[in-house]
Amino acid sequence: MTRRLALAWLGLVAAVALFADLVASDRAIIASIDGHWRWRPAAPGATLRPTLSADDWAVWPPIEADPAEVRTAGVLAPLAAPGPRHLLGTDDRGRDVAARLVHGARTSAVVAGVAALLATLAAGLIALGVALGPRSLRAVGLATLDAVASAPALVITVAAAALVGRSGLAVLAALVALPRAADTARLLTAQLDRELAAPYVAAARALGASPRRVLRRHALPALVPTLVTAGAITAAVAVLAEAALTFLGLGAPPPTSSWGELLAQATQHDLAWWLSIPAGLATTATAAALFVLALAPGRASR
Amino acid sequence: MAGAVSAAARVAARVIAAWLLTWLCGWILVELAAEPPARLAARAAGRLPPDDAPVAARDEVIAAQARGFGLDGGPAARTARVVGRALALAPGPGWRDGRPAGVIARHLAGATLARVAAALAVAIAAGALAALALARRRRGGAALAVGAALAIAMPTVWLCQLLLTASPGAALSSTAAVAILAVAPAAVVALHVGTALAALDASPLAIAVAARGASRRRWHAVHGLALIAPGLAPLFGSTVGFTLAASPVVERALALPGAGRTLVAAAAVGDVPVVLTLAAGAAALVALVAGLADLVARRLDPRIAEAA
C-alpha cells in the first residue's frame, strides 16, 4: 500500500515535471485562430485574449501564470496571500507560487535523476575496477572509498559548490552525486565480492563459463536490487540537498524555479506559509516516496 | 597489544586520508576554476579593482595577493604547497581577512560540536524509546517505517521553519537546534532498533524468556536493547556525518553562531582556505568517529570482528 502510494506520488511528480509548461504557463496550450490551429502560440494570455474573435478558441493551462513573470497585468503584487487570482499567492517578486511550485518539480526531478544516474554509473564502474582490478590497488581503492564515503556529504557539497560557483543544475547534480557515488561503490564492491565467491559462480566456472560470462549473466544481475536501492536513496538525498543548498545560497541559479528557493524565500519573509508549506510538503513527500521505494527491493528479496 | 596498535593505526590512516583527500580534491577544483587562485583570493578579500580599472593596477593587486598567500608558480607547485600545508596542519591565512584559517575553524567548531554531540545523545535516547513503544503495538513496525521515512525526508530548513512558526522564540536557541538536529538521527536509530527487535522477537531466546514469565516490555527493554546495542555502534559514524551536515542549515535558519554558518559565509565570498579547512576538518572528524565506532563494535560483538 505504502509502496503504491509512493509510486503514484513519484509518477505525479514526474508527469508534472515533464509537462510543467502545459500545467503552469501564461501561454495557451492550443488555440484556433482564424481557422488555424496553433500549438502553444507565442503570445501570452494577456495579449492573446483580446485578439480572439467569437469563432476563435483556446485551451488554457490549469495554472495560467508564468513562473518567471515578475509583474502580473501591470500590477506588482509581491507576497500576496492565496486568492482567486493566485491559488498559492505570490513570492517576493510577485511571481505566482503555484506556477513556481510546478516548475520546481522539474528542477527537483532533473537534479534527482541526473544525480542518481551519475552516482550509480560512477559507482558501478568504480566497484568493477576495485573488485576485478589488480590486488595491489584494491586496498588503496577501498581506503579511498571509505575516506570519501565517510565525509559529511552536505558539508563537502557546500564546499565544492563554493569552489565551483553557481554553474547550473547539471553541476549541482554532479556535486550531490560525488559523495553518494563513493558510498554506493563501497556497497557494490562488497556485494560483487560476495557474489563472485558464491557457490553458484564456482559451479558456473567449473562448467566452463568465461569470467566475462560469469560477470554478465550471474554477478551483475545480482547487483540490480542494490543499484535500485542506492539510486533511489541518491535521488532522495539530491532532492533534500537541492533544497538545503538553495537555502544556503549555493543551489540552482536564479531565476530557476525550485522548491528550495521557495523555502529560502519563506525564511526571508516572516515565514509566509504559502511559500513554506506547499514547498516543504512537496519536498518531504518526494524524498519520503523515494526512501520507501529504496526499502522496497530489500523487503521483496527477504 | 599488537592488535590494538594496528587498529589505532588503521583509524589514524583513515583520518589522515579523509583530511588530505578533501584538501587535495578541493584544491584541484580551485585549480580547474576559470579564474586563477590569486585572482579568486583578491576577489575574496574585496581588493580586486573594478572591471574598468587599468589592467596594470589589476595585475599588481593580483600579483600582491599571489605573493602574500603563496599562490605564485604553476598549478603543480601551488598544489604541492597546499598539500604540504595541510600535512603540517597549518592551512595558512584565510583569503577574506588574512586571519589564520585554522584559528577561524577552531573558534566556532566548539559550539557546533557541542550541539552535534547533544543531538546524538537525544537521538539515541528518543530513537530507542520510540522503537520500544512501537514494538509493543500491533502494526507498530509499519508505523515506525513510515514515521522514520517521513522524519528523514523532511528538509532541515522546513523543520526549522515549522518550529519557528510554532514558537518564534526558538531563534537563537541551541535547544531548538539540538531538537532539529536530532530528528533524522533519531529516526535512523528507531528504524534500526525496531527492525532488530522484530528479528529478536522470533528468536529462541525470546521464547525462553517468555516461558520464564518475563513480560514483552521487560524482554525488549532488558534483553533486547542489550543485544542490539553493539549493532548501534557502526551507525554512529554515519549519523555524526548526517548531523554535522545539517548544521550549516540549522545555524543559518536559527541565526546561531557555529562552524556551519562560518562555512557558508566563507563559501559565499570564496574564502577557499577557510572552506577547505572546515570541510576537511568535518571529514576527518567523521572518519575518526566512524573508525572508533567500528573498534567499539568489534569489542562489544566478537562476531563483527570474525566476519571482517
The mean pLDDT of chain A is 85
Lowest mean pLDDT among B45-59, B76-90, B259-273: B45-59
Tell me: pLDDT of B186 over 90: yes
Q: How distant is the Cα of A242 from the closest Cα of chain B, in angstroms?
A: 10
Compute the average pLDDT of residues A140-163: 78
Q: Please, which residues 221-260 of chain A have a Cβ atom closer than 8 Å to chain B?
A: 236, 240, 243-244, 247-250, 260
Q: Do A248 and B237 touch (CB under 8 A)?
A: no
Give residue B120's pLDDT band: very low, low, confident or very high (50, 70, 90): very high
Q: How distant is the Cα of A162 from the closest Cα of chain B, in angstroms?
A: 5
Residues of B in contact with A160 (CB under 8 A): 26, 29
The mean pLDDT of chain B is 86
Compute the average pLDDT of residues B195-200: 87
| B124 CB within 8 Å of a chain A CB | no
Using alpha carbons, select from B279, B258, B262 the residue that is nearest to residue B111: B258
Name the residue among A161, A244, A267 with its Cβ closest to that of B161.
A267
Q: Do A236 and B237 touch (CB under 8 A)?
A: no
Q: Which residue has the higher pLDDT, B189 or A301?
A: B189
Q: Which long-range contacts (CB under 8 A, 24 or more apart) does B261-267 make?
A: B261/B108, B262/B104, B262/B105, B262/B107, B262/B108, B263/A155, B263/A158, B263/A159, B264/A158, B264/A248, B264/A249, B264/A250, B266/A162, B266/B94, B266/B96, B266/B104, B267/A158, B267/A159, B267/A161, B267/A162, B267/A248, B267/A250
Compute the average pLDDT of residues B114-131: 93
Compute the average pLDDT of residues B137-158: 86
pLDDT for the residue A300: 44
Q: Do B33 and A165 touch (CB under 8 A)?
A: yes
Phi and psi angles of residue A56, each rounded to the nearest 5 degrees, phi first? -85, 155
Per-residue buried b or exposed e for A192-226, using 16+ beta carbons within 10 Å of the residue's own CB: beebbeeeebeebeeeebeeeebbeebbeebbeeb
Nearest chain A residue to B246 by CA: give it.
A154
Tell me: pLDDT of A227 over 60: yes
| B57 CB within 8 Å of a chain A CB | no
Angle (CA) B237-B238-B244 rounded to 5° is 90
pLDDT for the residue A166: 61
pLDDT for the residue A80: 82
| A41 CB within 8 Å of a chain B CB | no
Quote the ipTM score. Answer: 0.85
Give residue A301's pLDDT band: very low, low, confident or very high (50, 70, 90): very low
pLDDT for the residue B116: 94
pLDDT for the residue A232: 94
Compute the average pLDDT of residues A54-58: 86
Q: Please, which residues 81-100 of chain B have a Cβ atom closer than 8 Å to chain A?
A: none
Compute the average pLDDT of residues A154-166: 76
Cα dihedral A37/A40/A42/A45 (nearest 10):
100
Name the residue among A152, A264, A292 with its Cβ closest to that of B244.
A152
pLDDT for the residue B91: 86
pLDDT for the residue A240: 93
Q: How distant is the Cα of B160 from the closest Cα of chain A, in angstroms?
A: 9
DSSP output for A82-96: S-SSSTT-B-TTS-B
Tell me: pLDDT of A7 over 80: yes
Cell of A282: 512537496
Residues of B in contact with A276 (CB under 8 A): 158, 161-162, 165
Q: Do B266 and A162 touch (CB under 8 A)?
A: yes
Q: Please, which residues 156-175 of chain A have a Cβ atom closer than 8 Å to chain B?
A: 156, 158-165
- How far is C-alpha A271 from the chain's CA centre? 25
- If phi > 0 it is left, if psi is from -120 to 50 it is alpha, else beta; for residue A71 that is beta
C-alpha count within 13 angstroms, C-beta hemisphere, residue B107: 11
pLDDT for the residue A13: 95
pLDDT for the residue A121: 93
Compute the average pLDDT of residues B151-160: 92
Lowest mean pLDDT among A154-168, B192-206, B238-252: A154-168
| A152 CB within 8 Å of a chain B CB | yes
Residues of B in contact with A233 (CB under 8 A): none
Compute the average pLDDT of residues B40-46: 86
Q: In what order do the strands lie in the sheet with A36-39?
A: A36-39, A30-33, A57-59
Q: Do A155 and B21 touch (CB under 8 A)?
A: no
pLDDT for the residue A271: 80
pLDDT for the residue B308: 57
Q: Which residue has the higher pLDDT, A32 or B50?
A: A32
Give residue A297's pLDDT band: very low, low, confident or very high (50, 70, 90): low
Most confidently modeled range among A141-150, A274-283, B14-23, B217-226: A274-283
pLDDT for the residue A302: 41
Spatial separation of the C-alpha atoms in residues B247 and B249, rounded to whole Å: 5
Residues of B in contact with A151 (CB under 8 A): 18, 22, 241, 279, 282-283, 286-287
Give residue B213's pLDDT band: very low, low, confident or very high (50, 70, 90): confident
Q: Which residue has the higher pLDDT, B303 or A89?
A: A89
Tell me: pLDDT of A159 over 90: no
Tell me: pLDDT of A216 over 90: no
Residue B279: C-alpha distances to residues A130, B21, B283, B292 (Å): 26, 11, 6, 20
pLDDT digits (tens, 9 = 90+) for A72-88: 555 567 888 888 888 88
Nearest chain A residue to B155 by CA: give it.
A240
Q: Which residue has the higher pLDDT, A154 or B76?
A: B76
